[in-house]
Amino acid sequence: MTRPPLPRWLLVAAAVAVLLAALPLAGMAVRVPWTRVPELLTSEAARDAAWLSLRTCAISTGLCILLGTPLAVLLSRSRGPLAAVARTITALPMVLPPVVAGLALLITFGRTGVVGRHLSVLGVEVGFTTAAVVIAQTFVAMPFLVVALEGALRSVDARLERTAASLGASPSRVLATVTLPLVLPALVAGATMSFARALGEFGATLTFAGSLQGTTRTLPLEIYLSREADTETALALAVLLIAVAAVLMVISALVARRAVVGRD
Amino acid sequence: MVAVVGLSTLVGCASGGDDDEGGDLTVFAAASLSGAFTKIAEQVERSEPGVSIRLSFGGSNGLVDQIAGGAPADVFASADVATMGRAVDAGLVAGEPAPFATNVLTLITPPGNPAGITGLDASLDGARLVVCADAVPCGSATRELAESAGVELRPVSEESAVTDVRGKVASGEADAGIVYVTDALAVADRVEQVPIAGADTAPNVYPIAVLDRAADSGPARRFVDAVTGPAGRAVLAEHGFGPP
């Protein structure tokens, strides 16, 4: 069954939308010193930043999976106003302005913070450490996994879970052998998006963790600093970040599509 | 494309580089000048009816990038000679930049100096020190000062802006920070100063210049004269700046 044709003005608006996304990238591509990119990326500061970003994002994504999966399962089974409030709160960091996220983390976990004050007494100080970077990344990236996973969990056929349970499987076993395998594509897609978000995390890291080479200066912070003195390095690092982000998005989209096909 | 053009008219500002005596004047200045320049601009507006001055404060390097990118600025004041040099090399400056103020570095601590910082010495060992990154003016000045004092600094963070250094000390997150005296004065109720011996032997010089696009602008030239003249110097001194 063919659908009726679309209005022509739609094409114009869509073209402007595509231009808005593509023009800044094209504009950057013109200015990037392509021949020097490999050499610029091997500077010690760039290597340290890339390695730190990779390490912290891997840990953050792991934490998102560990903590976010149980939360998504619980939310997918919850109804009512309380669940709606919980859903809103856990998704909020997704749309929180980065500086606000950093400020919130600082006045909570900072030295004089609500929680940080007590940690300080115990000799635990997260400010200015790599742990602060991981906390900031996990805080902003977790909702991406939870939202993606919860949607998939809601579409799982409850009869499969009931059948497994009636055959004597414990709740943990049902979750591990029936429920989670069914939503594995969504989990992978969500985790990929979380990783991408963690990789781009900037404002909260700067406010909460500071900026020190090899300890807290991730790729976005290195770009921010390089702009001051060395635009070429900033552009080369930006290319690296854009390339990785694009690959992650493609992976996420492919896996998510497989998830839809797999339901046939 | 119409939408894009419409947008640029919407966000574009009227330029102020005209020959007549009235009109708008746009001044780009280093963030550390915000208090002093706001006051000087008020004085100039009072003495020159019909001139309205717009001030834009930020990191000196970022301001040069904006001016090079076509931002409608008539006057530029930077936090160091090197950054003004970038503007001169890019052909953005009309005539010679004039030095108008100096600033020296100082240590700051949270109220009560909980870590017992006494200067650029062993008291910093194990303390959480925050400084400016080498790529920004206050950072290169910090590095030079530490080198001349023969001290190796081990900061926990190197910030891109002096205000970020100050904020991390004022909030108690850091035990000590290195900022300019003027930055410390601006929040005197929230930080304590620990002077650095020898800081005043190599003060940081602030230059100001009329930009190329405003070469024939009377108000731009008179603003620069006001800043470099006795009235401007008095305001700058109030804010902790030294004479050039």
Q: What is the pLDDT of residues A85-116, one digit of tens each?
A: 999 999 999 999 888 999 999 999 988 889 99
Domain locations in chain A?
Answer: 42-263
Interface membership of A103 toward B (CB under 8 Å): no
Check the annotation: does B206 bind a ligand.
no
pTM: 0.83
pLDDT score for A99: 85
Task: Please say if the pLDDT value at position A229 is more than 80.
Answer: no
Share of chain A above pLDDT 90, in %: 80
Task: Please say if the pLDDT value at position A228 is more than 90.
Answer: no
Q: Are residues B186 and B110 in the same domain?
A: yes
Give residue B181's domain range: 105-195
Summary mean pLDDT of chain B: 89
Task: Residue B111: give its domain's CATH number.
Answer: 3.40.190.10
Query: Which one of A48, A212, A223, A231 would you mutate to disrupt binding with B, by most B Cβ within 10 Å of its Cβ?
Result: A212
pLDDT score for B5: 37
Closest listed residue to residue A205, CA positions, set B153, B171, B157: B157
Q: Are residues B44 and B94 in the same domain?
A: yes
Q: Are residues B137 and B154 in the same domain?
A: yes
Closest listed residue to residue A156, CA positions, set A192, A191, A194, A184: A184
Q: Which of A5-9, B3-7, B108-112 has the lowest mean pLDDT?
A: B3-7
* C-alpha span between B226 and B29 (Å, rounded): 15
pLDDT score for B61: 87
Q: Are residues B148 and B226 in the same domain?
A: no
Query: Which one of A117, A125, A128 would you mutate to disrupt binding with B, by most B Cβ within 10 Å of its Cβ?
Result: A128
The reply to whether CATH 1.10.3720.10 applies to domain A42-263 is yes
Q: Are residues B228 and B110 in the same domain?
A: no
Residue range A178-194: mean pLDDT, rounded: 94
Tell me how many residue pairs between chain A and chain B have CB atoms under 8 A apart.
63
Q: Is residue B1 assigned to a domain?
A: no
Q: Are residues B173 and B210 in the same domain?
A: no
The residue type found at A75 is L
Rounded to the nearest 10 degrees, the angle between the axes of helix A98-109 and helix A130-154 is 120
pLDDT in tens, B114-148: 999 999 999 999 999 999 999 888 899 999 999 99
Nearest Cβ partner for A216 among B157, B164, B171: B157
pLDDT score for A262: 45
Share of chain A above pLDDT 70, in %: 97
Compare all CA atoms of chain A with the CA of B159 and give the residue at the minimum distance.
A211
Backbone φ and ψ of A256, nearest 5°: -65, -40
Rounded to the nearest 10 degrees, the angle between the axes of helix A44-76 and helix A81-91 is 170
Q: Contact B173/A216, CB-based, under 8 Å?
A: no
The residue type found at B228 is T
